[in-house]
Amino acid sequence: MTIEIRARGFPAGKERVERLMRENNIRARHKRRYKVTTDSKHKLPIAPNLLDRNFTTDAPNQVFTSDITYIWTDEGWLYLAIVLDLFNREVVGWSIKANMTTDLVIDALTMAWFRRKPAPGALYHSDRGSQYASHAFQAKLAEYGMTCSMSRKGNCWDKACASHYTSLRRSDTISGTRRRQDSLMPCAFRGGSLPGGSYKHSFLSLYA
C-alpha cells in the first residue's frame, strides 16, 4: 500500500499508512493456502551456489533469478514461474500452467532470454528443485549460454529476491480477484504484464 501511494505522487510513510488503515478498518490480504513447490529429493546434478547472496549487479542482463509460486483458484491450483533481473528486480520472464512441470520453468527462461538476450556467461540462479535440475532445463540453459547457480539445500535466503516477489504475488490481486483458471492462463499475459495489475518491488520503492 505504501509503495502504491508513493507511486501516485503522494508522500507516505509506512507507519502513517498502517495507522490510517487501522483507523479506517482496511486490512491487507493475508496468505492463504500453502503448497510445496520445491522437490529437492532427487538424484539430478546440483549446481554450486555461485550467486552466494550477492543480490546487487551494476548492469542489466548479468544475473537472473527464478522461482515458482502457486495460485489457488476455484478450479484448483495454478503454478507461476517468474524470472527477475537482479539489476532492477524487473520481471523479464514468466509462465503459468496448471501443472508444475519442467516446461513451466523452461517457458519462463525462454521468454527472459528472447526479451533480453543476455551475453554468454550470464548467471541464472534458482533453487535446486527437480524442474531446474532436470536435463531438459539444463540443456536449455546451455543452449542460451547461461551459467547455472543453485541455492543451498533448504536455504530460501539464497534466492531471497525471487522468493520475496512470489510471496507477495500470492497475496495480491492474482489470488484476491481472479477465481477462474482461464483468466490466469497465458492469454492473460498479452500486453506484456503479469495478471493482477502493476507490481512495484519493495526493494526499489519502499526504501527509496
* The three grid cell numbers given for residue 145, joined into one nine-digit string: 549460454
What's the pLDDT score for residue 203? 40
**Mean pLDDT confidence for 191-207:** 41
Q: What are the structural domains, with CATH classification, of the chain?
A: 1-30 (no CATH), 32-205 (3.30.420.10)
- DSSP class of residue 94 equals E
Exposed/middle/buried for residue 87 (C-beta within 10 Å: 0-12, 13-18, 19+): middle
Which pLDDT score is estimated for 13? 77
Q: How far apart are CA 63 and CA 147, in angstroms?
A: 9
Region 8-35 average pLDDT: 66
pLDDT of residue 59: 95
**Tens-digit pLDDT profile for residues 123-140:** 999 998 999 999 999 999
Distance CA 205, CA 162 (A): 16
pLDDT tens-digit map of 140-161: 999 999 999 998 775 554 454 5
Q: Give the whole-angstrom CA distance, residue 28 versus residue 22.
A: 10
What per-residue confidence (pLDDT) applies to 38? 53
Q: Which residue has the cell 551456489?
A: 49
The per-residue pLDDT for range 60-113, each reduced to its tens digit, is 999 999 988 888 777 788 888 989 998 988 889 999 998 989 999 999 999 999
pLDDT of residue 73: 77
Q: Alpha helices of the chain — where are they, by DSSP H? A: 2-7, 14-23, 102-116, 130-133, 135-144, 160-171, 173-177, 202-205
Cα separation, 125 vs 63, in Å, equals: 8
- pLDDT of 93 reads 92
Q: Taking 90 as the threshold, does the pLDDT of residue 1 lie above it? A: no
Query: Mean pLDDT over all residues of the chain?
Result: 74
Tell the burial category of 60 from Cβ atoms under 10 Å away from its Cβ (0-12, 13-18, 19+): middle
Q: What is the pTM of this model?
A: 0.66
What share of the chain has pLDDT > 90, as a percent? Answer: 33
